[in-house]
Amino acid sequence: MDGTAAEQVLASKWDIPFALFAMIRVAFGDLPVWAKAAIFGLIGSLALWTAVSWLRERRREVS
């Protein structure tokens, strides 16, 4: 490989999602169902709040 660093591709596009899934599986694998539900509920609520806030701000900018 005599190419420059910009020409070298070391990972596929699926490596990051696979690594994240594996990390989540290891981190939450041994937790009871109620703990998983609470954690994912909080994360989902945060994601929903962020999306609604972003949409409101976007509508405010258009008006």
**What is the rounded CA–CA span in Å between residue 63 and residue 30?**
49
Q: What is the pTM of this model?
A: 0.58
pLDDT given for residue 10 in this prediction: 61
Tokens of 6: 């910009």
Which band of pLDDT confidence, cut at 50, 70 and 90, is reported for residue 46? very high
Dihedral sign for Cα atoms in the order 9, 15, 19, 22: negative
- Percentage of the residues of the chain whose pLDDT score is greater than 70: 81
Residue bearing tokens 């258009």: 62
- Is residue 1 a contact partner of residue 8, using CB atoms and an 8 Å limit? yes
Tokens of 42: 């909080």
Question: Higher pLDDT residue, 16 or 42?
Answer: 42
pLDDT given for residue 9 in this prediction: 58
- Kind and range of the H or E element at 59? helix 33-62
